[in-house]
Chains A and B, each alone.
Chain A
């Protein structure tokens, strides 16, 4: 009995920590695993509302040993094989030696682009609703996306952009669907060097399972590169932070990433 009381108190203390995390302070870096795990869905969510500060936790970062979290990559087409052979990533099944790396984000300081922004270094995010759009404000690289909800259709023949063109709609009171097209093929799908063409179409499903949790599923559909659609995020939970959480500025500046490349990575080369 005493054990149960003690365990309950500890769980409550961890939960209290999580709910207070970052409140009225600056530069919150994200929840520790125990804090993240202690947050439960809670009561029913408000309808058609993703407003708030959210943390995808360790799975969002998806580096190193967390790389495979929620990924089931489809086989490549011939064109896909040709494209992936050029990439020298730092993570995943095609990991290269660090001095050979050519990750556009971590060796040159290019933007993550979309969908990489939700597939790697997905750190705390703020979601804002406006009358005709949903704004996604990412703490990683201080980057934002506008998801138009004013009924417009995706563009037919768009000039490729780093973050593409996104439209959103509510499938029901708890599920928000985002369709995105028109991404430049200069970006990778994630940190594993998985390529995409400019014909890539991505669908994000944000399912709010409770007042404190949104589950995100991301589907990659690029017939030029992959033989079938595949899931890069499978019901990945985003957990709610206090609304007034100020996020750490987690920017990969070009001068810093190239500094690491020259100072450390280049010197690891063996003959």
Chain B
């Protein structure tokens, strides 16, 4: 039994390691962020590029005003390893994005994960 648990733990660790997002390309210390927030919005552009890909989305506030966010994630090689692609988002898609917003207060941040309308999550 203990062998089985050990084997399961090793396999789980291997899978976790292989799946772990290479967080931000730059260390957290270099990108001044304040905690994490979730934003929901409509994709206006998905920029598949290096060293960071960028998701732009319109986010409607409680007062009805729309704020244009630009949130960054990893480079295309690391994203490809994790199942992302150039075609993952298209304008008009509704997405929910967990981000680390910039401390500056500007509508920019680093993506932690994105959930599509069908519930599929990418990180």
Q: Mark A253-264 against chain B: 1 for CB-CB distance below 8 A, else 0.
A: 100110110011
A90–B50 CB distance below 8 A: no
Does any Cβ of B come within 8 Å of A106's Cβ?
Answer: yes
B108–A95 CB distance below 8 A: no
B3–A63 CB distance below 8 A: no
Closest to B52 in A: A260
Q: Give chain B residues whose Cβ lies under 8 Å from the Cβ of A101.
A: 26, 30
Does any Cβ of A come within 8 Å of B81's Cβ?
Answer: yes
Q: Give chain A residues whose Cβ lies under 8 Å from the Cβ of B3.
A: 3-4
CA distance A264 to B33 in the complex (A): 12
Give the size range of A's interface with the partner.
Answer: 35 or more
Does any Cβ of A come within 8 Å of B116's Cβ?
Answer: no
Q: Give chain B residues whose Cβ lies under 8 Å from the Cβ of A260.
A: 49, 51-52, 54, 72
Does any Cβ of A come within 8 Å of B118's Cβ?
Answer: no
Indicate which residue in B24, B47, B106 contacts A259 across the interface (CB closer than 8 Å): B47
B30–A98 CB distance below 8 A: yes
A267–B104 CB distance below 8 A: yes
Q: Give chain A residues whose Cβ lies under 8 Å from the Cβ of B20.
A: 33
Indicate which residue in A6, A34, A65, A98 contacts B31 across the interface (CB closer than 8 Å): A98
Does any Cβ of A come within 8 Å of B38's Cβ?
Answer: no
Indicate which residue in A7, A14, A27, A90 contacts B80 across the interface (CB closer than 8 Å): A27
A252–B108 CB distance below 8 A: no
Nearest CB in chain B: distance from A18 CB, A: 11
Q: Give chain B residues whose Cβ lies under 8 Å from the Cβ of A91.
A: 26-27
A90–B27 CB distance below 8 A: yes
Q: Mark A60-87 against chain B: 1 for CB-CB distance below 8 A, else 0.
A: 0101111100000000000000000000
CA distance A65 to B51 in the complex (A): 16
